[in-house]
């Protein structure tokens, strides 16, 4: 049973990201402010849900949330500021879109930088403990998946529609065969044995 609230503040938002471990595409963050009486039997950590269930939940969260924000941080910026900073920047961007602004922020994981003038708490496995973080995890994942489906059309040989940019065997084989694209994260170890890649 997921909990509704950590801080006691009515306007408490949850935030989470998706795509941190991917070799290609953005890291996508979402922040969600849920009404205090929000209930949903289906909602759980997005990693525990099937794709079908995540996409069933997406419009429910969007319609029932008091507010939500989503932010993509693209591969060029990830390569410049590193994946942890990019994830936190994405969460800050997503929080900045919330109207009304939250009074308190709960964050999935154990790393975050203070958001101006709003207290926060990091919660390890928060997406399986609190409704608002679970909702943010679903939005981050679904928005990122839709983006990866779009760029799949441009480079179908990497099969991003299926692997979403994660380091699957198939994705790595395609990198070995075709090299890298503008969507790949050059700062990541794209091949396990780090074969010479031409940038």
pLDDT, tens only, 6-49: 999 999 999 999 999 999 999 999 999 999 899 998 997 778 89
For residue 187, what is the enclosing H or E element? Answer: none
Which option is the CATH number for 12-154: 3.40.50.720, 3.30.420.10, 3.40.190.10, 3.40.1080.10? 3.30.420.10
End-to-end alpha carbon distance in the chain: 48
Q: Is 78 exposed, middle or buried (0-12, 13-18, 19+ CB in 10 A)?
A: buried
**DSSP conformational letter for 110:** S
Give the per-residue pLDDT at 2. 93
Q: Which residues of the chain have pLDDT under 70?
A: 193-199
Give the per-residue pLDDT at 88. 98
Give the per-residue pLDDT at 192. 73
Q: Which residues pair with 27 in a beta bridge?
A: 73
């Amino acid at each position: 049973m997921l909990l509704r609230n950590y801080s006691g503040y009515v306007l408490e938002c949850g935030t989470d990201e998706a795509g941190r471990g991917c070799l290609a595409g953005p890291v996508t963050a979402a922040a969600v402010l849920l009404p205090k009486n929000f209930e949903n039997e289906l909602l759980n950590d997005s990693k525990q849900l099937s794709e079908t269930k995540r996409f069933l939940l997406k419009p429910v969260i969007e319609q029932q949330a008091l507010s939500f924000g989503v932010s993509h941080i693209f591969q060029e910026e990830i390569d410049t500021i590193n994946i942890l900073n990019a994830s936190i920047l994405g969460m800050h961007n997503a929080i900045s879109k919330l109207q009304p602004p939250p009074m308190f922020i709960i964050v999935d994981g154990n790393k975050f930088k203070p958001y101006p003038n709003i207290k926060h708490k990091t919660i390890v496995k928060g997406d399986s403990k609190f409704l608002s973080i679970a909702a943010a995890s679903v939005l981050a994942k679904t928005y990122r998946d839709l983006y990866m489906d779009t760029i799949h059309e441009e480079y179908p040989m990497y099969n991003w529609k299926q692997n979403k940019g994660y380091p699957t065997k198939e994705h790595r084989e395609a990198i070995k065969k075709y090299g890298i694209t503008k969507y790949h994260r050059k700062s990541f170890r794209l091949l396990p044995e780090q074969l010479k890649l031409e940038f």
